[in-house]
Chain A
Amino acid sequence: MIAEAGHYALVLALGLALIQSTVPLLGARWRDAALMNVARSTALAQLLFVAMSFIALVTLHVTSDFSVVNVYENSHSLKPLIYKITGVWGNHEGSMLLWVSILALFGGLVAAFGNNLPLSLRAHVLAVQAWVAGAFYLFILMTSNPFLRIANPPIEGRDLNPILQDIGLAVHPPMLYLGYVGFSISFSFAVAALLEGRIDAAWARWVRPWTLMAWIFLTLGIAMGSYWAYYELGWGGWWFWDPVENASLMPWLAGTALLHSALVMEKRNALKVWTILLSILTFSLSLLGTFLVRSGVLTSVHAFATDPARGVFILLILCVFIGGSLSLFAWRASALKQGGLFAPISREGALVLNNLFLTVACATVLTGTLYPMAYEVLSSDKISVGAPFFQLTFGPVFVALLLAVPFGPLLAWKRGDLLGATQRLLAAGIAALIAIALVWAWTYGGATLAPLAIGLAVFVVMGALCDVAERIGLFRMPLSISLRRARGLPRAAWGTMFAHAGLGIALIGIVCETTGNTEYIGAMRPGDVVPIAGYQLKLDGLTPRPGPNFSETIAQFIVKRDGATVSTMTPSKRSFATRGMSTTEAALLTRGASQLYISLGDATADGAIAVRIYHKPLVLLIWWGPVLMAFGGLLSLSDRRLRVGAPKPAKAPRALQPAE
């Protein structure tokens, strides 16, 4: 009964979405408050039914009900409980259900907490949400139904892909989906604004928390996914420019641009049309990302041939939503009122520059991701676009962006003073030069670009600190006044500092990891010792051990430094009988922000085992950076104050730097 009730709940949610997508629009057209309010109750009811449906699927997985095809194909009765639950979204059907659950959750949140929205705007937003939801319910029910049954259930399931049997699956996809789906709210607001033909600074105020929330989750989701790939795949790499990774990076770049342009709109009532376009593009890229991961649209064109119904449905959804919203934009954007004016050198101008760089970066990633597929379709040859392409295109754009980052917050609204900003960044510049000189001396003869990149990173971090120091008048005023001003500084300003500094921190990690790596790859026998980066690693022995649904071979390494034992590391190799697959469980030893990394290869006939050992200096900074960025986002989100961008008067003497 659980399976069927879950199935029926999903069907009912579709029915409610159909009503929610039409009735409120009629209400807004004829200005009937009751009809507009239907959107609210149906959105909440939709959330209720989708949640029921999702809980039903989780229950089925937990109780190992193999009469459900989805459970049979992706579960195993011996799997640990946590993987039985995470296995729900470790497959196409279940992950689509998670996607709509999150969509319904966001719809429900807008309905429940959208009291400050004008009635007709809320009706429009929820109706657009319901269009998206309705399309996805149909997609799930028609082509990817997780509730299909087997009349004579088999006694054991086929197990989940062993690579996915990891705690990463519990965190990474839900985070990423919260990010992807969160951008559906700004999309709905954008389409609603186009439908209503009205947009102003208040709009940006209402969209801000949703965009920020989505951005935080997406940032954490991408960082988490990268760390997961780093420790699970056993190669020690953390970013592969894989289409699936690019698919999550593109909405992040567009979303970051959106975050900044929405800021201009809220504070200065400018860049309105551009913000609407960015909202549409960001969600379009999120949709593309969802389907890239779930259907392999790009990685293989042939995925369409294996399941044509699914492929055609996906294409249809992409065409209708991306094409439809862009056409609506082309048709209605000219009717929107233009916003305020500003000088090229001003905070607004800096943010336009930021948007320019981010969208160009996003476009290079999109090109690198889509080009191989287009090429394959046209010439039936396979090519792959890898890291060199992205380093040559994405790299320079991002370097330029990073150079500009510290300047932005130091410029005044409306008309800025570049020279003044440069002077105030002098400290950051000097710190960067010192860093370059130090790194150059230390790694003399190493990579040429590494010291420069480190210098750039230091410049970004110090620039972020300079900005806050400038605002609170540190070193210019008595300390007590500085502290009082620091307390009075809006949390959003602190958020900006953390987010911008996070960028620099991540860059330091990236540069150190790519240029300062030491590695040892070879075969070891019990008793062998390998010296690496000042550590001595001794392979103590190999022991087999049975796990719940796998058997594993564990290798014990004793790590010594200067003769003293530091720790032991136990990498292992697991083999899963049901799928006939094996996975590598790398062992990581964290020392400060650096890590030792051991992963096992195959055992050779004479009792030796292939091992890869890496020492990765400061590698953890790669992920601490994004965490810091997300923390900055969180600070900004918690700041419920209104944002006012006080313009710099045309001919005022230089006064205190205007803040948020």
Chain B
Amino acid sequence: MTLWFVFALMTVAAVFAVLWPLSRSRPSGTGGSETVVYKDQLAEIDRDLASGIIAAAEADAARVEISRRLLAAADEGQREAAPQANLKLRRVAAILALIGLPLVAATLYLRLGAPQLGDFPLAGRSLVADASQPLVNLVAQVEAHLEKNPTDGRGWTVLAPVLSRLGRYDDAVRAYRNAINYAGDSAERRADLGEALMGTAGGVVTADAKAEFERAIALNADDPKGNYFLGLAAEQDGRKTDAAAIWQAMLAKAPADAPWRPLVQAALVRVGGVAAPALPDSAMAAAKDMNDTDRSAMIRGMVDRLATRLKQNGDDVEGWLRLVRAYLVMGERDKAMSALSDARQAVANDAERLRQLNEGLKNLGLDG
């Protein structure tokens, strides 16, 4: 309500600015004229002459010239008609201000503005994590917090794996190092650091990474991640038998329900260590077992199925958002954009769904 009251006040002030001069019968300040300037110039010549800046002969020449201009200006002034009041025109102007101004302002504003939205100054907003927020924002918040409190080991511990998953390996390496510094050393953290270092090298177990895995093993000889990647390092070095030996030792010591068992078994098959035992859970194994190409093919298949389903029934706003997000994650911005416009068309007739869609898209960081 206050907003509309403020708008009304502003409009009244604007209208008043137009009406005020119209309402005055004798307008103040009829204005200057050229003759004043020339008279001042004549006076200026006298002053210059008195202070010795110009000589008498030049002063005379200047006086003649300026007097000529003064006469011309005075003539001009007399020929001009005196100001007169034109009541009809004034009324037109008043009507223009009273009706036209508010009309133009209201029409334009209602088309462009968003009067239903209040203010959202940052100080007044709760900083509670909101499920609908993009991950990137949450990460930025944690990073901002750590920027101010760089010794918060728990914060680094939470942030590091997220950065790793986002593919920001360089930052993840820094975060893991800080976590080790401030939250204490452990086999898991060393192994995770090694994995992040591998990420920066595009999946190759570099000397740095290997050193971290070895530190992990030194802290805990049974650390699965450390052992697995040391095996991988051996495989990448071409020492397949060493790799097989490491992995076989892992499997021998591991509990039967260890979640990483299928992965190691698959690796073992790859280096031709031994025939793999039958897989306990074929579906899970399938996913773990695949190499990158196969896995992305499987994901692509799922995304394509979603896209086909949405083409047949486009009412599912959540589905559309999932599809757009999936394309963005796969790095296919063009497809994401075309899915976005398909989505708009599909829900165009339903204002409520359209609104949901737009809000969702904004959360994805796409401008509505």
Contact = CB atoms under 8 A, between A and B. Distances in A.
Interface in A57-79: 63-67, 69, 77-78
A355 to B, nearest CB: 22
Contact of A19 (B38, B73, B97, B150): B97
B127 A155 contact: yes
A112 to B, nearest CB: 11
Nearest to A648: B58
Nearest to A647: B61
Interface band, chain B:
35 or more
Interface string A82-124: 0000000000000000000000000000000001111111100
Given A155-B137, A644-B48, A200 B34 contact: yes
Contacts of B76: 198
A117 B10 contact: no
Interface string A149-163: 111111110000000
A22 to B, nearest CB: 8
Contact of A646 (B13, B20, B59, B82): B59
A292 B174 CA distance: 42
Contacts of A33: 27, 30, 83, 85
Contacts of A647: 58, 61-62, 65
B299 to A, nearest CB: 27
A117 B48 contact: no
A116 B120 contact: no
A560 to B, nearest CB: 34
B101 A19 contact: yes
Interface string A634-660: 000000011111111100100110111
B33 A488 contact: no
Interface in A527-547: 546
A34 B10 CA distance: 23
Interface string B292-325: 0000000000000000000000000000000000
A4 interface: yes
Contacts of B41: 642-644
A32 B90 contact: yes
B21 A40 contact: yes
A5 B89 contact: no
B54 A646 contact: yes
Interface string A23-47: 1001100111111011011101100
A354 interface: no
Contacts of B349: none
B48 A63 contact: no
B78 interface: no
B34 A116 contact: no
Interface in B40-98: 40-41, 43-45, 48, 51-55, 57-62, 65-66, 69, 72-73, 76, 81-86, 89-90, 93, 96-97
B278 interface: no
Given A153-B120, A649-B58, A44 B104 contact: no
Contacts of B36: 116
Given A649-B58, A655-B55, A644 B44 contact: yes
B112 interface: yes
Given A35-B86, A35-B93, A67 B20 contact: no
A642 B44 contact: yes
B203 interface: no
A52 B66 CA distance: 46
B21 A41 contact: yes
Chain A's interface size range is 35 or more
A198 B81 CA distance: 15
Contacts of A145: 112
A214 interface: no
Contact of A649 (B13, B51, B57): B57
Nearest to B83: A33
A646 B3 contact: no
Contacts of B6: 1, 5
B277 interface: no
Given A37-B21, A200-B73, A201-B69, A152 B122 contact: no
A122 B54 contact: no
Interface string B1-39: 011001100110110011011101001011111101110
A658 B54 contact: yes
A119 B108 contact: no
A77 B145 CA distance: 12
Contacts of B121: 63-65
Interface stretch (B216-224, B237-245, B359-367): B359-367
A151 B117 contact: yes
B359 A151 contact: yes
Interface in A140-176: 141, 145, 147-156
A340 B51 CA distance: 27
A154 B31 contact: no
Contact of A205 (B37, B72, B119): B37
B55 A118 contact: no
- Which of A9, A23, A485 has the most chain B CB atoms inside 10 A of its CB? A23
A630 to B, nearest CB: 26
Contacts of B32: 115-118
B132 interface: yes
A38 B73 contact: no
A647 B66 CA distance: 11
Nearest to B148: A546
A485 B85 CA distance: 52
Contacts of B362: 150-152, 154
B85 A659 contact: no
A44 B82 CA distance: 27
B137 A119 contact: no
B86 A646 contact: no
B135 interface: no
B235 interface: no
Contacts of B40: 642
Contacts of B34: 118, 200, 202
Contact of A4 (B72, B86, B115, B358): B115
Nearest to A487: B51
A141 B84 contact: no
Contacts of B37: 201-202, 205, 642
A16 B14 contact: yes
Interface string B138-154: 00110110011010000
Interface in B184-228: none
A30 B119 CA distance: 48
B109 interface: yes
B134 interface: yes
A249 to B, nearest CB: 33
B253 interface: no
A154 B127 CA distance: 11
A116 B36 CA distance: 9
A26 B90 CA distance: 10
Contacts of B358: 151
B114 A12 contact: no
A8 interface: yes
Nearest to B117: A149
Interface string A268-285: 010000000000000000
B364 to A, nearest CB: 11
A114 B66 CA distance: 23
A535 to B, nearest CB: 36
A3 interface: yes
Interface in A394-432: none
B105 interface: yes
28 contacts: A1-B3, A1-B119, A3-B119, A5-B6, A8-B113, A31-B82, A35-B89, A63-B122, A69-B367, A115-B32, A116-B36, A117-B32, A120-B31, A122-B31, A148-B112, A149-B117, A152-B132, A198-B76, A269-B65, A471-B53, A485-B52, A546-B150, A577-B140, A642-B37, A643-B41, A647-B61, A649-B57, A656-B55
Given A15-B105, A33-B83, A141-B112, 11 more contacts: A11-B109, A15-B14, A23-B18, A32-B86, A41-B17, A45-B17, A45-B18, A64-B121, A153-B125, A155-B130, A155-B141
* In the complex, the 5 A-B pairs of residues with the closest C-beta atoms, listed nearest first: A45-B17, A119-B31, A63-B121, A64-B122, A116-B32
